[in-house]
Structure formats: structure tokens, C-alpha cells
Amino acid sequence: DDGRGGGDASTSAAATAAVDNLHFIACNANVSLRGLRVPNLSVVTILFPDPWSRKKHANRRVVTPAFVRTLADALTRGGRVYCCSDVKPLATEMYALFLGHGAFELDDEMYAELGETREGEGEGEGEGE
């Protein structure tokens, strides 16, 4: 536990997993990723990164053209980025940034499985049956 909270469940799961190459890092990815020089970085997850939906706050966003370039350089060949947002315009923007880079492609099978959802969609399914 790094004292920030929120990481206990994932770090506990990593500690009991049957792998020795699973790590969680709490950092500012835009600043720290390049300096980490992880030689075998194969998966990056970016979950709800940008609460800054207003244009005047665009410079605060995590997923920027520079960050996409950094990820493209840092990931191993065939590496994956899982990214999601609950703000449709920001999700569309992130999608365009990754596809526009050229090093990334949409996993049609994964997208078909997970697709798009809206807030509250799927909640309560199966209840009361």
C-alpha cells in the first residue's frame, strides 16, 4: 500500500497470482512512463482518465498525441492498450488519437464483445427473477 488508497485489492491479487511479472504503478503516466524504461511492457490500461471534457481544460488530459507516441515507443510489439471513458466525446477523441498514430489498431473481436455502454446500462439485470 502506497498510502494513497484504492490499490489494496489489485496489489493483493498480484501478490497471490501465479505470476511474477505483474506490477501496478501509481504515477503520472505522461511524466513517468518514458523514464521507467520497462523492457517488456505489454499491456497498459487507461480507465476513465479524463474528467476534463471542456475545451479549456484539454491540456490536462492524459491521452494526448504525445502520450500516444510514448505508449507506441514503450510497448512491446503486439502490446495492447485498454482504454475506456464514460464521456462519449472524450472516448471518441481517444479512439481517434490511437488509430491516427498508425501503431495501433482496433481489436474488432474485443470491441464486439465489450462494445459501448451508457451510464446505468446493464445495472439491475437479472434482479428479481
Q: Considering 1, 8, 50, 86, which one is annotated as catalytic? A: 50
Which amino acid is present at 81? V
Residue 73 annotated among the catalytic residues of the structure? no
Evaluate whether residue 123 is within a structural domain. Answer: no
Evaluate whether residue 1 is within a structural domain.
no
Owning domain of residue 92: 27-114
Q: Considering its fold, how many domains does the chain have in total?
A: 1
Residue 106 lies in a domain: yes
Q: Give the ranges where the chain is alpha helix by DSSP (H).
A: 8-16, 29-36, 65-74, 88-101, 108-114
pTM (predicted TM-score) = 0.69
Lookup: cell for 87: 464521456
52 domain residue, yes or no: yes
Whether 81 maps to a domain, the answer reads: yes
Could you read off the pLDDT of 36-55 as tens digits, one per residue?
Answer: 777 888 888 888 776 666 77
Q: Which stretch of 1-5, 16-20, 97-101, 115-119 has the lowest confidence by average pLDDT?
A: 1-5
Q: Is residue 103, in this structure, part of any structural domain at all?
A: yes
Q: Which residue has the cell 466525446?
A: 89
Mean pLDDT of the chain, nearest integer: 74
For residues 98 and 100, give the distance between their C-alpha atoms in angstroms, rounded to a whole number: 5
Q: What is the CATH number of the domain that holds 61?
A: 3.40.50.150
Residue 13 domain-assigned? no
